[in-house]
Copies of this chain bind each other. A is one copy, B any other.
Amino acid sequence: MNRPLLQMALDTYDLPSALAPLQKAHHHIDIIEAGTILCLAEGMHAVRILRSLFPDKILLADVRIAEAGSIISKMAYDAGADWVSVVSGAAPSSFEVVLAEAQSRRKDMQIELSDGWTWEMAQRWADMGVQQVIFKRSRDLEAQGKLSWGQQDFEQIQRLSEMGFKVTVTGGVKPADIPLFAGIPVHIFIAGRAIVKADNPEAAAKEFQDTISQTFDTI
């Protein structure tokens, strides 16, 4: 099994607050996420700056496209994003236009599985050629106090993977959660505040990276 990648989500209210921890942690992460909050706060300027600072990292603009997919994806790709996000509740035509835009540029898109997604929708996306989905712990379960990841999550990730998707996992992931995913085909783990708000962002990112290696690397 491939070792999952580590994505650092930057969801700060301004760019400087994102750049300070990123500059410390970047050696230990694979993917930089310009989060929804940062994109709304600073606009595509944030994406352009991140691209200029880290030309070799994968850069995701978490613009959560629901409509106007062609325009928003073009804007993000032009600013330097490799990937953009589309919400699962988007208009059906949005998936197609964003995917076409991505493919024409050899870039990619991710569908964020928000409350209300179904396996039937997922099958349509797979048939359409969508490669990546973002799996979040159910908010309802979180609200019920189910604070850790469970069998139901792992089965869904497994099934998404069997459908052909590369699965990004998000939802307050901490290093201590990573070993729970041993044997589960996770493509990417997202860490946000756990790195951005850490006293030592470099050490926090390294801890994620080391835990991922220990959990997924086999001899």
Taking Cβ atoms with an 8 Å cutoff, the residues of A that contact B are 11, 13, 36-37, 39-46, 63-64, 66-68, 71-72, 75-76, 87, 89, 91, 93, 114-116, 139, 143
Contact = CB atoms under 8 A, between A and B. Distances in A.
B68 A66 contact: no
Nearest to A39: B40
11 contacts: A11-B68, A39-B43, A40-B43, A40-B75, A43-B46, A89-B115, A91-B115, A91-B139, A93-B139, A93-B143, A116-B116
Contacts of A75: 13, 37, 40-41
Contact of A64 (B11, B46, B66): B66
Contacts of A93: 139, 143
Contact of A87 (B37, B43, B45, B66): B66
A74 to B, nearest CB: 9
The number of times this chain is found in the oligomer is 2
A44 B36 CA distance: 12
A42 B37 CA distance: 13
B89 A116 contact: yes
Contacts of A89: 87, 89, 114-116
Contact of A43 (B45, B68, B71): B45
A93 B63 CA distance: 21
Contacts of A72: 36-37, 40
A36 B68 contact: yes
A6 B139 CA distance: 38
A88 to B, nearest CB: 9
Nearest to A46: B43
A34 to B, nearest CB: 10
B43 A114 contact: no
Given A72-B37, A91-B139, A66 B63 contact: no
A115 B95 CA distance: 14
Nearest to A143: B93
The 4 closest A-B pairs by CB, nearest first: A43-B43, A89-B89, A42-B43, A41-B43
B66 A114 contact: yes
A119 to B, nearest CB: 17
